[in-house]
Amino acid sequence: MSHFTTKDIPDLSGRTAIVTGGSSGIGKATAAALARAGAHVVIAARDTEKAARAVGEMPGSAEARALDLADLGSVRRFAEAWEGPIDLLINNAGVAADTLRHTADGFETQFGTNHLGHFALTGLLLPHVTGRVVTVASQAERMARADFLDDPNFASRPYNGSVAYNNSKLANLLFVAELARRLEESGSPVRAMAAHPGLVATAIYDRPGPRRFSIWSALVPLLAQQPDEGALPTLYAAVADLPTNTFTGPRHLMHMRGGATVIKRSPTAADPELARRLWDLSTHLTQPALTL
Contact 112, 168 (CB under 8 A): no
User: Rounded CA gap, 35 and 163, in Å?
Assistant: 35
Partners of 66 in the β-ladder: 45
Can you tell me whether residue 252 is helix, strand or coil? strand
Note if 165 is an active site residue. Answer: yes
Looking at residue 268, its amino acid is: T
Q: What DSSP state is assigned to residue 274?
A: H
Which residue among the candidates 159, 165, 205, 236 is catalytic per the annotation? 165
Distance CA 136, CA 230 (A): 11
Note every long-range contact of 269-273, with CB atoms under 8 Å and residues 24 or more positions apart, other chains counting. 269/141, 269/170, 269/173, 269/174, 269/177, 270/177, 271/146, 271/174, 272/177, 272/178, 272/181
Q: Which residues are catalytic?
A: 165
